[in-house]
Structures are given as C-alpha cells and as structure tokens.
Amino acid sequence: MTDDTSRIPLQERPYNPHPGILEQLNLPPKAIAYLRENARNLQVGAVGVLVVALAVFAFNSYREAQREKSYTLLYQAVQTTTASERQARLQEVVASYPRTNASLWAQLEIAHADRQANKLDEALAGYGRVYDRLAKDSPLAPLVLLALGQTNEVKGDLDKALSFYEKVASLPGFTLLGKTGLARVHVERQQWAEARAIYEGLQADVEIPESDKAWIAIKLAGLTEAGAKP
C-alpha cells in the first residue's frame, strides 16, 4: 500500500526542525507539496485577482467623481438666468458627461426651453432622445410621453398627439392626464361625441378624485354649449 503521510496523526509525523508557514498551519503534506509545486501559478493568479479588484475600485471612483462633477455643472447651468447662456451650459453637461443622469436632466431642460421658445421640432427631438434613454418603467417616462403629446398637439400633429396620449392614459396613475389630452384633441377636431364619451367615462371612474370631477363637469358643460348635446 502507498504510504500516505496525510493520514498520519500529527504527533506521529516526521519531525521537521525547520518548519515553514505551511507546516505551521498543520496542512497535510500532499497539500503542502501541491502548493509549493504550483507556487508560481498561484502567485500569478493572486496578482490577477488583485489587479482586477484595483481596476474595479478605480473605475467606481472615477464614475463617482464624474457623477459629482456632472451634477455640479448641471446645478450651475440651471442657476443661470440668461436663456442663451443657460442653454450653452446645459449643452456642456450633455457633451462632457453623456452617460450620466445629469446629462439626461440637461437634455430634458433643453427640450423644455425649446418648447417654450416655440422650437417645436427641436423640442420633439430632445424629448425623443430622453425617452430613448429611459427604462420603460422609469417614473419619468410617463411625463416625457405627456410632453411629446402636448408638443405634437401644439404643433398641430394631432394624430401623433393622440398616439402619445393613449400611451399615457394606459399607464397606472396617469389615466386622467392621458384621457383629458385625448378629449382635448377630439374637441380641436370638433369630434364632440368622442370628447363627451371620454369626459363622461372619467366622471364615472371611481378612482378619479371628486375635485377633478368638478372641472370635468365644466368641460362637459362647455361641450354642450359648443353643440355636443347629450
């Protein structure tokens, strides 16, 4: 039978007058022999793990520094009172830190400013870029969809406005905003019956607050005066 000193009780193992650290750890002789034979490979592997760990740490530190710088620049931009300078600083945030949340907010601010300046095509393009970057379950997504609907409505592209309002209306918590947008477009098209059906549906919806139903009743009364009689 092959001699297996790893099974020899500790007190019966051969005496070693100069034990190393591995012996002092009471490792089996076979384990000690394996570690010594493969010391080079094990050292290389340990160095590799260390390099990866340091790289991850450095990347995380860099990303955190970029995030802080981007929000500082965004804060400075929104504090600027001159419209042209404000837009320029917001563009700087987008250009300098394109993958940060700060750049997302900067793009949204730029789109809002374009809409206020009646630059509707630029605003729509900006809102579209923001929406494309958002996760579909982002709490910001319904608001961007609503902005797309409103901007298309102002532009006169009512088919696109209806499409966006329908998406908004289908989202939990945004039924009122989406459906009132739909009703408003139908009114612009003088589609009185469609608008009335939406408003009456909102009045019957138990999830709509009574305070909102009060102005919905006013909208219905306005439809009657406009010729959309019940």
pLDDT one-digit tens code per residue, 69-89: 776 777 677 677 788 888 888
CATH of domain 134-230: 1.25.40
For residues 177, 182, 185, 191, the Cα torsion angle rounded to the nearest 10 degrees is -140
pTM here? 0.68
78: enclosing H helix or E strand: helix 39-78
User: Average pLDDT of 124-131?
Assistant: 95
For residue 66, pLDDT beyond 90: no
For residue 30, pLDDT beyond 80: no
Confidence class of residue 6 from pLDDT cuts 50, 70 and 90? very low
Residue 27: closest CA among 36, 18, 38: 36
CB 98 within 8 A of CB 106: no
